[in-house]
Chain A
Amino acid sequence: MEEENLSECPICLQPLLYPVKLPCNHRFCFLCIKGIRGPTQTNQTTKTCAMCRQPFSIELLEQNLEMNLDSKNKVFKWFYEGKTSGYWAFDERSNLELENAFHDKKDKIVISIAGFSYCIDFVRLIQYPINHPERVRKIKRCEELNTENGDFKIKGIAGLRVSERTTTTQPSSTSSSSSNTNDDNEASGTGLTDQELSQVFSESLQLK
């Protein structure tokens, strides 16, 4: 049998997105559990847990969000060290996996990025390809708002240099040189302006 994966939603089988914990301790994506049908067509305010059938009130759902979606919109992003300087943001999907594993208090997880398996070590705050444990890079977790004024340079997302996005005629260095998204093609190594950063984040993080 497949192993039980605590950071996977049992309804969509994806990493939990806006996780909700029901009174019975089962966890689902907010939208997945919100979408399940109630026991009758007329009474849709009470539903039953998809795992154990314990009834719950849908009014509880928003209160039981595990994430902090308060007015400050505290959203955390994960970054990994560039080869020679600065940091890359993880892509949005990997970020979600990391964030969920972090909340599950895991010591380490293995994630797959473009077919390569990377070990993310939350204790030592490093990552490395599982086939090349010597290729260690540091990782960081930062509140999104802080990264804009952060004390470290953010180069882009997963090897996609944000500053190159505006110059569409220039062939992308990420497309041909390597199939490994975590590869770091060092060019100028410039940091991002606040404006570029907010562009990155508004594209990747559109929270309601």
Chain B
Amino acid sequence: MAALPRRIIKETQRLMQEPVPGISAVPDESNARYFHVIVTGPEDSPFEGGLFKLELFLPEDYPMSAPKVRFITKIYHPNIDRLGRICLDILKDKWSPALQIRTVLLSIQALLSAPNPDDPLANDVAELWKVNEAEAIRNAKEWTQRYAMEDN
């Protein structure tokens, strides 16, 4: 593996020095491009109270291409599939190298507050979210209780 670019070193230092409230991202001991992430469920969302684990990987050509991010904790959300893959434009065609780990994780946290069933990744979840939002939200709360609590 090539030397760690100064941009990654600087981003990591800043993440440690000025952590984002509700988000923690810690580089792996053996791979500085792999981050262990925990995002807290936003207030007033069905994910409130949950602690969601994610993995984030900075590819070789980062920041020219987007980080790879995936939920490890199971989550009931129309834009996140059962493998934890996330449907978010800035992780795909709307990526910009001026975005950072910090901004990506904030966007993911915002996605938890604002599910978008019209651009679904998990089709069954999105369908229910559209036809019976109350039940979908109940499911999301239940999954949060079952999978995203600290003692799990």
Where the two chains meet, the residues of A that have a C-beta atom closer than 8 Å to any C-beta of B are: 1-2, 10-14, 32, 35-37, 39, 48, 50-51, 53
Q: How far is the CB of A26 from chain B (nearest CB, A)?
A: 9
Q: What would be 29 A-B contacts, judged by CB atoms less than 8 Å apart?
A: A2-B14, A10-B98, A11-B7, A11-B63, A11-B97, A11-B98, A12-B5, A12-B6, A13-B6, A13-B7, A13-B10, A13-B11, A14-B6, A14-B7, A14-B10, A32-B97, A35-B64, A36-B64, A36-B96, A36-B97, A37-B64, A37-B65, A39-B93, A48-B96, A50-B96, A50-B98, A51-B96, A51-B98, A53-B96
Q: How far is the CA of A50 from the CA of B97 in the complex (A)?
A: 6
Q: How far is the CA of A145 from the CA of B10 in the complex (A)?
A: 35
Q: How far is the CA of A53 from the CA of B10 in the complex (A)?
A: 24
Q: How far is the CA of A63 from the CA of B128 in the complex (A)?
A: 54
Q: A2-B18, A35-B64, A37-B65 are in contact. Are A12 and B7 (CB under 8 A)?
A: yes
In the complex, which residue of chain B has the Cβ closest to the Cβ of A39? B93
Q: How far is the CA of A12 from the CA of B7 in the complex (A)?
A: 5
B40-81: CB near A (< 8 Å → 1, else 0) gives 000000000000000000000001110000000000000000
In the complex, which residue of chain A has the Cβ closest to the Cβ of B17? A2
The residues of A that contact B18 with a CB separation of less than 8 Å are 1-2
Q: How far is the CB of B6 from chain A (nearest CB, A)?
A: 6
The residues of A that contact B96 with a CB separation of less than 8 Å are 36, 48, 50-51, 53
Q: How far is the CB of A61 from chain B (nearest CB, A)?
A: 15
Q: Give the size range of B's interface with the partner.
A: 10 to 19
Q: How far is the CB of A100 from chain B (nearest CB, A)?
A: 16
Q: How far is the CA of A129 from the CA of B96 in the complex (A)?
A: 38
Interface SS, A side:
loop
Indicate the member of B5, B18, B96, B98 with the most A CB atoms within 10 Å: B98
The 9 closest A-B pairs by CB, nearest first: A50-B98, A10-B98, A11-B97, A13-B10, A50-B96, A13-B7, A50-B97, A12-B7, A51-B98
In the complex, which residue of chain B has the Cβ closest to the Cβ of A8? B10
Q: How far is the CA of A39 from the CA of B63 in the complex (A)?
A: 15
The residues of A that contact B14 with a CB separation of less than 8 Å are 2
In the complex, which residue of chain A has the Cβ closest to the Cβ of B5? A12
The residues of B that contact A35 with a CB separation of less than 8 Å are 64
Q: How far is the CA of A35 from the CA of B65 in the complex (A)?
A: 11
The residues of B that contact A50 with a CB separation of less than 8 Å are 96-98
The residues of B that contact A14 with a CB separation of less than 8 Å are 6-7, 10
Q: How far is the CA of A135 from the CA of B3 in the complex (A)?
A: 39
The residues of A that contact B97 with a CB separation of less than 8 Å are 11, 32, 36, 50
The residues of A that contact B65 with a CB separation of less than 8 Å are 37
User: Which residues of B1-15 have CB atoms within 8 Å of chain A's CB atoms?
Assistant: 5-7, 10-11, 14
